[in-house]
Amino acid sequence: MTQQTKKQTLIFASIILFMLSCLTIFYFPIMLKEPLELKKSKPLNDTLGFDHVFVINLSYRLDRREDMQEIADFLGLDFDFFPAVTRFDRKLLNKYNLAGLSNAQKACYLSHYLIYKEIVKNGYKNALILEDDIDVEFEISRIVSDLSRALPDNWDIFYIAHYNYEKGEILAESGEFRLIKSTNPINTHGYAVSARGARKLIKDLDVYKPAYPIDVELTSRVHSGFVRSYSIDRTTMIQWKTYDNPSDIPDSRPPFERQELLNSTRRILGYKQMWDYD
């Protein structure tokens, strides 16, 4: 091998070593880091764009918890089951002495009120509150994602589920679903509360002696303008009615008329409602 050939070989080898060094420097840390990032990642829509999702569930209603967990798993959602106050907890209910309401209504009222306090305590910007007997629109993630973008920054309550169709100024649309300023929202089986709204409600609600059940109390504050509330005028959630799944608030006024979603998640999963057996 000539001196010139040796020199060329050394130069070539040096170039190869330099390139390998660069690859090691730039890519090896990435190879080590990537699995950690992937492990920590979560689906973008697992809380529907809210900081947290609470599901109010009585400890002895394991059937409802299992059903809701199946929905969560199917839709890729992350539900935090919040221990509901039971109407049989006389010691707690007597402590609050909620005059004028039945024990079941008192328990429901307190369950929602305690979640408002959890929102503030945990520093959440907002949270979605669900009851554990609901059916969910299959495309809930897309609908809520589309419409929540149009929410003003100072919103207090966002009803994504209610019984009646409201009439109001349309702020945004997503297919057949529209975001409007609330006019007459009804019930509490699927609604979001901002931190600002939670602080307002904690301060204003008379938890020791309320005039009405919690859903009516909230509606009255929407009517008065005390809270800034918005609604989806075609509901994305309904209460699921079956003969073997009685309400835990037997003295409430639930509408038993037939209700359907456009694309029911429970029906996709094979569930049936009471009228399916008629």
Q: In terms of DSSP bridges, do strands 229-232 and 157-159 run parallel, antiparallel, or are they unpaired?
A: parallel
Task: Report residues of the chain scoring pLDDT below 50.
Answer: 23-44, 254-256, 278
Token pair 């005028």 is found at 233
pLDDT of residue 169: 84
Per-position DSSP letters for 44-88, written without gaps between them: TTTTTTSS-EEEEE-TT-HHHHHHHHHHHHHHT---EEEEPPPTT
pLDDT of residue 100: 82
- The one-letter amino acid at 18: F
What 8-state DSSP symbol labels residue 166?
P
- Report yes or no: 135 and 265 within 8 Å, Cβ to Cβ: yes
Which helix (H) or strand (E) segment is 194 a member of?
A: strand 190-194
pLDDT of residue 95: 82
Task: List the beta bridge partners of residue 137.
Answer: 264
Q: In terms of DSSP bridges, do strands 157-159 and 190-194 run parallel, antiparallel, or are they unpaired?
A: antiparallel
- Residue 151 and residue 231: Cα distance in Å, rounded? 10
Choose among 97, 126, 127: nearest CA to 109.
97
Backbone φ and ψ of 264, nearest 5°? -75, 125
The tally of CA atoms less than 13 A away on the side-chain side of residue 103 is 11
Choose among 183, 240, 193: nearest CA to 214.
193
pLDDT of residue 210: 84
- What would the two tokens of residue 268 be? 């996709």
What 8-state DSSP symbol labels residue 10?
H
- Report yes or no: 156 and 193 within 8 Å, Cβ to Cβ: yes
Q: How far is CA 222 from the centre of its chain?
A: 20
- Residue 201 and residue 159: Cα distance in Å, rounded? 15
- The one-letter amino acid at 231: S
pLDDT of residue 239: 87
pLDDT of residue 96: 80
